[in-house]
Amino acid sequence: MSGSQERRRSHPLRGARRRGQVRAAIILLGLVVLSSCAGGPDSLGGGSPGDEPTSAPAATSPDRADGWEDWSDGGGNDDPDGGMNAALVQPTRNLVSEHLSSWVDYTSPAPTQLQVAFYTGNPACYGVRAVVQEDAMEVRVATVSGTRSDAVNSACTQEARLVSLLLELEEPLGEREVQPLTEVELAP
């Protein structure tokens, strides 16, 4: 036997060790990529304990659907008046497969208005609405997301978009607390 053949025989685990190192490197690279996509707790507004990711369908086209208004000055979702950093949208009628979407922020741009921000999917497939209940002590708000009835059989991708709804209150907000409303009738 030649020296090189003996060397190969003397290291029978060399190939297995090398494959193991390559496999470990691939797994590590995959974890790095996944962690960079996931972001930190602030990447989607932090959410609330118990929030589960939704499988919000979103269209493959980035174009806005009817009823969605971007109140920015041309790029992104920046409010030129310094308000929330979310696209202002109109409520959508005739949603199916509705679910609650926890709102992440609110502001009161006028005494009888409340603007709530939350995440939903692309407006070509996904719509939103809100339910408001008021009393003397608090204003309870539920933000609801669902599939647009005209997009039920559409090919949709999943993505998250920060949007806001402008809600009219019966009375000025004043010192009342704004709280999540968790019991709402949802369309199947």
pLDDT digits over 93-151, tens only? 999 999 999 999 999 999 999 999 999 998 889 999 999 999 999 999 999 999 999 99
d(CA 57, CA 64): 14
d(CA 105, CA 64): 23
Q: Kindly state the tokens that stand for 163.
A: 């949007």
- Asked whether residue 135 is assigned to any structural domain, the reply reads yes
Is 62 in contact with 69 (CB distance < 8 Å)?
no
- Asked whether residue 20 is assigned to any structural domain, the reply reads no
Q: Is 50 exceeded by the pLDDT of residue 177?
A: yes
Query: E strands of 41-120, at which residues?
Result: 57-59, 87-89, 95-100, 103-107, 113-120
pTM above 0.75, yes or no: no
- Asked whether residue 129 is assigned to any structural domain, the reply reads yes
pLDDT at 91: 95
d(CA 108, CA 177): 12
- Asked whether residue 33 is assigned to any structural domain, the reply reads no
Q: Is 50 exceeded by the pLDDT of residue 166?
A: yes
Average pLDDT, the chain: 73
pLDDT at 20: 66
- Asked whether residue 123 is assigned to any structural domain, the reply reads yes
* CA–centroid distance for 6 within its chain: 60
- Asked whether residue 61 is assigned to any structural domain, the reply reads no
- Asked whether residue 122 is assigned to any structural domain, the reply reads yes
Is 91 in contact with 129 (CB distance < 8 Å)?
yes
Domain of residue 145, residue span: 87-180
Weakest mean pLDDT among 3-7, 14-18, 134-138: 3-7
Is 148 in contact with 59 (CB distance < 8 Å)?
no
Cβ-Cβ contacts under 8 Å for 178 (sequence gap 6 or more): 106, 114, 138, 139, 140, 141
Band of residue 156 on the pLDDT scale cut at 50, 70, 90: confident
SS3 143: strand
Band of residue 158 on the pLDDT scale cut at 50, 70, 90: confident
Phi, psi dihedral angles at 9 (to 5 degrees): -70, -30
- Asked whether residue 38 is assigned to any structural domain, the reply reads no
What would the pLDDT profile of 30-54 be if each residue is shown by its tens digit? Answer: 665 555 554 444 434 444 444 444 4
Q: Is 60 exceeded by the pLDDT of residue 169?
A: yes
Cβ-Cβ contacts under 8 Å for 123 (sequence gap 6 or more): 59, 64, 65, 67, 68, 89, 161
What domain count does the chain have?
1
C-alpha angle with apex 106: 83 to 69, nearest 5 degrees?
60
With tokens 């990529």, the residue in question is: 33
d(CA 184, CA 56): 19
